[in-house]
Amino acid sequence: MIVYDLECEHSHRFEGWFGSAGDYDQQLEKKLLSCPMCGSANVVRRPSAAYVNTGAQQAPVPAQRESAPSTGVDMPPQYANVSPHMVAKLIEHIVKHTEDVGHQFAEEARKIHYKEAPERHIRGTATAQEAESLREEGIEVVSLPLPPQLSDKTH
């Protein structure tokens, strides 16, 4: 797993996690990377400090609990090294900018992939088997648990 520091054209910095450097290059080339704050697809990699495993045991650093102001979303203290406030903003952005297709997610994702339905950003529910089947077909999906207060929002 490789973690890169990324930045969009609006100077929003965020992390990207990739299986390999090739995965990063492929996603960048296909314009699959976008800023979680503003949605900009103009993303560049920024220098980051390298991690060196010295083998020494370090005491775990206790996480500071942050609240997510103005969202009312109670998030865990840390999610992929991102503050709870940032995770709440990301989830709100996804909910606001996607169409909820509910339990028809796998079927609708296939229709979009095979150009049987208009291309658009969707969200919904799928079983682990459905998500894996979509991935095997080359349809990229991401599993994201939504807090109950946001999961039933539609637009």
Residue 39 lies in a domain: yes
Distance CA 154, CA 124 (A): 11
- Domain with 112, as residue range(s), is 86-151
Q: pTM score > 0.75 for this model?
A: no
Residue 144 lies in a domain: yes
pLDDT digits (tens, 9 = 90+) for 24-68: 888 888 888 888 888 888 889 887 665 555 665 555 555 444 444
Residue 81 lies in a domain: no
Residue 75 lies in a domain: no
pLDDT digits (tens, 9 = 90+) for 59-105: 555 544 444 444 454 544 445 566 677 777 877 888 888 999 989 99
Distance CA 143, CA 126 (A): 9
Residue 69 lies in a domain: no
Let me know whether 93 and 40 are in one domain. Answer: no
Let me know whether 92 and 37 are in one domain. Answer: no
Distances (CA, A) of 49 to 5, 53, 81, 89, 118: 9, 13, 15, 26, 42
